[in-house]
Amino acid sequence: MNNQANNTIGYLGAEAAYLLEYQCTKIRLEQISTPFQREQVFHESNRNIPVIRSMSQLYAHGNLGNSGYLSILPVDQGIEHSAIYSFYKNPDYFDPENIIKLAIAGGCNGVASSFGVLSIHARKYAHKIPFIVKLNHNELLTHPVKYDQIFYGTVKDAWNMGAVAVGATVYFGSLQSSRQLNEVAIAFERAHELGMGTILWCYTRNEAFTQQGADYNKAADITGQANYLGVSIQADVIKQKLPDTNYGFKALKQGLFNDEMYGMTATDHPIDLCRLQVANCYMGKIGLINSGGASGKSDIAEAVRTAVINKRAGGSGLILGRKAFQRPFNEGVQLLRAVQEVYLDKTITIA
């Protein structure tokens, strides 16, 4: 057994066999496109050569370069969660250069952040690590808080600073989701015209999706449908939270559902739940990257667990921010590399 496998087993603890030995029998491996087939998918699509080149740059960079997987550092929390709340543990990250330095030292494929963060050092770093410019954000200060996303700049501005891709969020289920979906679809079309890839933060956000103590904003069926809408507007990568439950449509009595559809597509095993998200990304033809979640007491173990589930489900990597930057720099680098070890470890296979 190699050192990578030993490290992963140590982080997984009692769940090691449960996660590493499981095999999917609902949506099977032979039914999905794996990350190693993604280049062929893009070559058969309507994506133009500059888009394919930009996506190749992203997939070829960093410690996971040319592995088929992505490790991205996203830091837009200064806008989304307030800068003081996000950076009080490490005030160095008020300085955007340290965000970029962490992504480079951590061997990430790319760094995703706001127009301001990336533009202030674009000439120094845009050629050293792929930039992903986040086009829209919540602005937080409106009271009462509303689940909306507004554009902070233009696609052309992102192209001018040398970005290889743009990112955007749609809060599916919110009152503003229809407008957001339309705006992002237009922006993604423009990004493709200019030769940039597109990444969609495919989040569901509605207080009514929490019922009797269960948060169906992270249900496999609800998030899976958000993914399907995301690939419908030609996102090249989908970012989604790891599901921790299912039966969202049934619990909310929303849309069309029956018991048979749940029985045919997933069990309650976390790899099966994530496999359903992958299936909604055109059976894996569009890459699914799961988010790392909030910072806590067992960040490395939690991040490694998420990476194992994502990889074994057929996903394409992790986009992990708070767990990395809300800790000392060297520990953040260590965490990013621990996650990358999962994707480099050939003994951890797709279930």
Instruction: Give the pLDDT confidence score for residue 298 in this predicted structure.
Output: 83
Residue range 187-206: mean pLDDT, rounded = 97
Cis peptide before 144 (omega within 30 of 0): yes
CA distances from 146 to 82, 182, 205 (A): 15, 18, 10
- Identify the band that residue 331 occupies on the pLDDT scale cut at 50, 70 and 90: very high
Beta strand pairing call for 197-204 and 237-240? parallel
The residue assigned the tokens 């969202």 is 248
The residue assigned the tokens 């998030």 is 223
Instruction: Give the pLDDT confidence score for residue 162 in this predicted structure.
Output: 97
- Identify the band that residue 3 occupies on the pLDDT scale cut at 50, 70 and 90: low
How many CB atoms sit inside 10 A of residue 291's CB?
Answer: 21
CA 85 – CA 100 distance, rounded (Å)? 19
Q: Is 81 a domain residue?
A: yes
Look at residue 84 and tell me whether its pLDDT is greater than 90: yes
Residue range 114-135: mean pLDDT, rounded = 98
CA 172 – CA 181 distance, rounded (Å)? 8
Looking at every residue in the chain, the average pLDDT score rounds to: 95
Residue range 323-339: mean pLDDT, rounded = 95
Residue range 36-57: mean pLDDT, rounded = 94
**C-alpha torsion 45→48→51→57, nearest 10:** 90
Nearest to 270 by CA among 300, 250, 251, 290: 290
Q: Is 32 a domain residue?
A: yes
Nearest to 349 by CA among 20, 7, 30: 20
| 152-171 confidence digits (pLDDT tens) | 999 999 999 999 999 999 99
| 90-113 confidence digits (pLDDT tens) | 999 999 999 999 999 999 999 999
pTM of the predicted structure, to 2 decimals: 0.96
**C-alpha torsion 234→269→71→316, nearest 10:** -40
Total structural domains within the chain: 1
| CATH classification of the domain holding 99 | 3.20.20.70
Higher pLDDT, 198 or 207: 198
Look at residue 283 and tell me whether its pLDDT is greater than 80: yes
Q: Which three-class secondary structure string do you get for 102-141?
A: HHHHCCCCEEEECHHHHHCCHHHHCCCCCEEEECEECCCC
Q: Which residues are catalytic?
A: 239
Instruction: Give the pLDDT confidence score for residue 182 in this predicted structure.
Output: 98
| 227-251 confidence digits (pLDDT tens) | 999 999 999 999 999 999 999 999 9
Instruction: Give the pLDDT confidence score for residue 305 in this predicted structure.
Output: 97
Residue range 247-261: mean pLDDT, rounded = 94
Full residue range of the structural domain in which residue 123 is found = 3-344
Instruction: Give the pLDDT confidence score for residue 294 in this predicted structure.
Output: 73
Look at residue 2 and tell me whether its pLDDT is greater than 80: no
Q: Is 349 a domain residue?
A: no
Instruction: Give the pLDDT confidence score for residue 155 in this predicted structure.
Output: 98
Q: Is 350 a domain residue?
A: no
CA 51 – CA 147 distance, rounded (Å)? 31
Task: Looking at the chain, list the stretches that DSSP marks H as alpha helix, in order from N- to C-terminal side.
Answer: 3-12, 16-20, 38-43, 49-60, 77, 83-87, 96-105, 115-119, 122-125, 155-160, 177-193, 220-232, 248-252, 259-265, 270-279, 299-313, 322-325, 329-344
Instruction: Give the pLDDT confidence score for residue 270 in this predicted structure.
Output: 98
Q: Is 351 a domain residue?
A: no
Residue range 305-311: mean pLDDT, rounded = 98
**Structure tokens belonging to residue 322:** 């708070």
Q: What are phi and psi of 74, to 5 degrees?
A: -105, 125
Residue range 171-185: mean pLDDT, rounded = 96
